[in-house]
C-alpha cells in the first residue's frame, strides 16, 4: 500500500488541491479508502486524517467502506420514478439478493440510490462501476445481472447492451443515444471548429472580445444568469500573474442532461470558448470540472484536448500559451454552485463560500478565476465569429440568445431542444408531443411547478429562468408522491449542512409532506410553511433557498389534487 500511495503521489504531486484526484486513484485501486490508507496519506500529504475523512464523507462517490465488487447506483430522479424505477429496483434486489442501500452477502453487488446521473431521457437508468445502462426493463436488468454473475466483463457487457444505440467514441465504448430535435446557433453543425480562435490576435484583441461578449447580452447558462461579459471584464482588470478559466460541467440538477450532450457533440466549441475567455482575461490555465457521473467521457474528452495540442491550438508553446486539464468531481449537487466547485477543486468539502468572496478576484487557489458552465462557453466561438448583433437577434430584449433544454418525462419526444428564450411552455409541450399534461417542472428540483393555467408563461430570465431542466407530468401522476416528496428527500440528501436553516427546515417540511399523504392541512398550517420558507431565504446558497419551491407550488396551484381545509386550526402541529 505504501508503495502504491507513493507512486500515485509521485504522479500527481502532494498539493492539497490534488486530493480528489489522489483519492479517486486510491479508490480505483482498493475499492474504498480505509483507515490505514487515510493514515498513510495523511503523512505523505501533511493533512490530518480527520480532514481527509471530512472530504471523503462529503461526496457520494468517495467510499470509506466496501460498496460491492459491482457498485450499482440507481437513478432516483422524478423522471426515473415515473418511468419504472420501482420495478427495476425490485428486480435488482431479487437478482442481486440484497436490499437497496446494502451489499449482497458475498459483497459481489451493492445497490445504492443516487439523485441523477444525467439520463432523464433514457430512464430507468443505472451506473455499474461508473458505466451507464439505460432504458432498463425488469427483463433487461435481470439479463445484465445474470451476465455479471456468469463473469462477463463489464465493458463487454456495456457493449452488448448499450453500444448499438451509442455512437460516440468514449475510450473503447461509446455513449449517447439522446435525440437532438431542434438545433440553433449553438448546436448547428455549420460552425467550423476553431475558426473563432483564428481571429484572435488578428481581428480581435482581448478588449474586443470583452466588448463583443458584453454587447451580445450573453448570460451564464447555469441558471443564475449573471452577465458573462461583466464577469469576464471583472477578472480581466485584476492584475495577477496567474488566472484560471474553469468550465463547470457538474451538471447535477435532476432532469438535466444537456451538458452530457454538449460535451459529447460539441466539445471543441466548449474548449474553444474557454480558450477565448482565457485570451480575453489573460489566463493561461483552464480546467474542466467534470461530474463523477460523467467520468466515462473523460478518455473521449482527453482525446479532443490532445487533438487541439496536435493542431497547435493548445499547449504552453503555442501563441495562446494556454493549457487545460480535466478534474473529476466526486458527486455533490451543491458543487454546481461556483464557489463550492472551487472548494472542491482545492481538495476540500464542496461547501459554498461566503458571497463577498468574488471568484473573479479570489477564485481557484486564491487567484482571479472565471467559472462558467458548459453551455455558456460553447456559444462563445459562434458569438465571436458572427458578432453580438447576430446573437441578440435570437431571444428577447432581456434574455438574448437561445437556451438548450433537456426535455423529459411524459412526452413522445424526450431529448434536446435548442430554443430561443421567450418560447412558451405550451409551445414546448407541442414540440415534444406531450399529451394530457398536468404539470411541468421548469428548472429541476429548485425550479417551479407550473399548472396548465400557466402554460402560456415564457422561458426567459424575467419569467421562468432555468438551467435547462424541463420535466413533463401527465394527468396520471401523483404530484405529491412523484415530485414533492422526492424533491424534499433530494434536498435533505444534498444539503452541505453549513446553514442551520438548510440543515433543519427541509426535514420539517418533509414531515409535513408525509402528513399530507393522508390528511388535510389547514390554512394556518400553510401559513406556517410559508413562514418557514421565508427562513430558508437566509440560507447561503440557492440550494437552501429553493427547498420549498415545489411544495408550495403544489399546495397553492394544484388545488384539485390537494385541498386545504378552510380552518385556523393547527392540523399538522396538533398531531406532531
Least distance from ligand SF4 to the Cβ atom of residue 356, Å: 14
Give min distance, CB of 488 to ligand SF4, in A: 13
β-strand 70-75 against 102-103: which pairing, if any?
unpaired
Enumerate the β-bridge partners of residue 202.
none
Check residue 340 and report its DSSP letter: H
Can you point out the beta strands (E) in 292-349? 323-328
Residue 346 beta carbon to ligand SF4: minimum distance, rounded to whole angstroms: 16
Q: Between residues 251 and 525, which has the closer beta carbon with respect to ligand SF4?
A: 251
Question: Smallest distance from the beta carbon of 537 to ligand SF4, in angstroms?
Answer: 10
Distance CA 209, CA 225 (A): 19
Residue of closest CB approach to ligand SF4:
544
Cα(217)–Cα(493) distance, rounded to whole angstroms? 36
Residue 341 CB, nearest approach to ligand SF4 (Å) = 13
Distance CA 294, CA 70 (A): 18
Least Cβ distance, residue 339 to ligand SF4 (angstroms): 9
For residue 254, which of 476, 548, 470, 478 has the smallest C-alpha distance? 470
CA distance 406 to 123: 13
Q: Compute the least distance from the CB of residue 497 to ligand SF4, in Å.
A: 5
What is the Cα 371 distance to its own chain's centre?
Answer: 14
Phi first, then psi: give them for residue 356, nearest 5 degrees.
-70, -10
CB nearer ligand SF4, residue 121 or residue 343: 343
- Minimum gap (Å) between residue 250 Cβ and ligand SF4: 14
- C-alpha span between 244 and 556 (Å, rounded): 45
Nearby residues of 350 by Cβ (< 8 Å), 6 or more positions away: 58, 59, 332, 334, 335, 340, 341, 343, 344, 496
Residue closer to ligand SF4 by CB (options 213, 541) is 541
Whether 425 and 455 have beta carbons less than 8 Å apart is answered as yes
Nearer to ligand SF4, 426 or 493 (CB): 493
Q: What torsion, rounded to 10 degrees, do the Cα atoms 167, 169, 172, 175 define?
A: -50
Minimum CB distance to ligand SF4, residue 507 (Å): 12
Q: Pick the closer one to ligand SF4 by CB: 161 or 490.
A: 490
Give the DSSP H/E element, type plus range, for residue 126: strand 126-128
Q: By the criterion CB under 6 A, which residues form the site for ligand SF4?
A: 334, 352, 495-499, 502-503, 539-541, 543-544
Instruction: Find out whether 565 and 559 touch, Cβ atoms under 8 Å.
Output: no
Residues linked to residue 133 through DSSP beta bridges, in sequence order: 126
CB of 155 to ligand SF4, least distance (A): 36
Closest CB to ligand SF4 among residues 503, 520: 503
**Residue number, 110 or 506, with CB nearest to ligand SF4:** 506
Nearer to ligand SF4, 479 or 543 (CB): 543
Tell me the three cell numbers of residue 409.
418525462
The dihedral sign for the CA sequence 459, 463, 466, 471: negative
> Contact 418/183 with Cβ under 8 angstroms?
yes
Of 25 and 349, nearer to ligand SF4 (C-beta) is: 349
Nearer to ligand SF4 by C-beta: 331 or 544? 544
Amino acid at each position: 500500500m505504501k508503495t502504491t500511495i507513493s507512486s500515485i503521489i509521485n504522479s500527481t504531486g502532494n498539493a492539497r488541491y490534488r486530493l480528489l484526484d489522489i483519492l479517486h486513484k486510491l479508490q480505483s485501486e482498493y475499492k474504498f479508502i480505509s483507515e490505514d490508507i487515510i493514515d498513510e496519506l495523511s503523512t505523505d500529504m501533511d493533512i490530518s486524517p480527520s480532514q481527509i475523512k471530512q472530504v471523503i464523507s462529503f461526496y457520494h462517490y468517495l467510499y470509506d467502506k466496501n460498496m460491492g465488487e459491482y457498485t450499482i447506483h440507481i437513478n432516483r430522479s422524478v423522471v426515473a420514478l415515473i418511468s419504472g424505477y420501482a420495478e427495476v429496483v425490485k428486480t435488482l434486489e431479487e437478482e442481486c439478493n440484497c436490499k437497496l442501500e446494502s451489499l449482497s452477502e458475498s459483497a459481489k453487488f451493492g445497490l445504492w440510490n443516487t439523485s441523477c446521473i444525467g439520463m432523464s431521457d433514457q430512464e430507468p437508468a443505472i451506473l455499474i462501476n461508473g458505466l451507464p445502462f439505460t432504458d432498463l426493463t425488469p427483463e433487461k436488468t435481470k439479463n445484465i445481472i445474470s451476465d455479471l454473475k456468469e463473469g462477463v466483463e463489464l465493458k463487454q457487457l456495456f457493449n452488448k447492451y448499450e453500444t448499438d444505440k451509442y455512437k460516440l467514441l468514449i475510450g473503447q465504448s461509446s455513449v449517447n443515444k439522446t435525440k437532438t430535435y431542434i438545433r440553433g446557433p449553438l448546436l448547428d453543425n455549420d460552425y467550423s471548429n476553431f475558426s473563432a480562435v483564428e481571429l484572435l490576435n488578428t481581428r480581435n484583441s482581448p478588449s474586443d472580445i470583452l466588448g463583443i461578449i458584453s454587447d451580445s447580452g450573453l448570460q451564464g447558462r447555469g441558471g443564475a444568469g449573471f452577465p458573462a461579459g461583466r464577469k469576464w471584464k471583472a477578472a480581466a482588470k485584476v492584475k495577477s500573474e496567474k488566472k484560471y478559466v474553469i468550465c463547470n460541467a457538474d451538471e447535477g440538477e435532476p432532469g438535466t442532461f444537456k451538458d452530457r450532450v454538449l460535451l459529447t457533440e460539441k466539445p471543441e466549441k466548449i474548449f474553444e470558448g474557454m480558450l477565448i475567455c482565457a485570451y480575453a482575461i489573460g489566463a493561461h490555465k483552464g480546467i474542466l470540472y467534470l461530474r463523477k457521473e460523467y467520468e466515462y467521457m473523460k478518455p473521449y474528452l482527453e482525446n479532443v484536448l490532445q487533438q487541439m495540442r496536435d493542431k497547435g491550438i493548445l499547449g504552453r508553446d503555442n501563441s495562446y500559451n494556454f493549457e487545460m486539464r480535466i478534474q473529476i468531481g466526486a458527486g455533490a449537487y451543491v458543487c454546481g454552485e461556483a464557489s463550492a466547485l472551487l472548494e472542491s477543486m482545492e481538495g476540500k468539502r464542496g461547501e459554498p463560500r461566503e458571497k463577498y468572496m468574488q471568484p473573479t478576484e479570489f477564485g481557484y487557489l486564491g487567484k482571479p478565476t472565471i467559472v462558467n458552465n458548459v453551455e455558456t462557453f460553447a456559444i462563445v466561438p459562434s458569438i465571436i465569429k458572427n458578432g453580438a448583433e447576430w446573437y441578440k437577434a435570437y431571444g428577447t430584449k432581456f434574455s438574448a440568445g437561445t437556451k438548450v433544454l433537456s426535455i423529459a418525462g411524459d412526452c413522445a419526444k424526450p431529448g434536446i431542444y435548442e430554443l430561443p428564450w421567450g418560447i412558451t411552455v405550451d409551445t414546448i409541450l407541442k414540440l415534444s408531443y406531450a399529451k394530457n399534461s398536468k404539470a411541468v417542472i421548469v428548472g429541476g428540483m429548485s425550479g417551479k411547478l407550473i399548472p396548465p393555467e400557466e402554460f402560456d408563461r415564457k422561458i426567459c430570465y424575467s419569467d421562468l429562468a432555468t438551467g435547462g431542466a424541463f420535466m413533463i407530468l401527465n394527468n396520471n401522476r401523483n404530484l405529491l408522491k412523484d415530485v414533492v416528496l422526492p424533491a424534499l428527500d433530494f434536498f435533505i440528501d444534498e444539503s452541505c449542512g453549513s446553514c442551520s436553516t438548510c440543515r433543519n427546515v427541509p426535514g420539517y417540511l418533509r414531515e409535513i409532506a408525509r402528513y399530507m399523504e393522508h390528511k388535510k392541512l389547514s390554512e394556518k398550517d400553510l401559513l406556517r410553511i410559508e413562514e418557514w420558507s421565508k427562513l430558508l431565504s437566509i440560507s447561503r446558497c440557492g440550494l437552501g433557498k429553493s427547498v420549498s419551491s415545489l411544495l408550495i407550488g403544489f399546495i397553492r396551484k394544484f388545488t384539485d389534487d390537494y385541498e386545504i381545509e378552510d380552518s385556523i386550526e393547527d392540523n399538522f402541529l396538533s398531531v406532531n
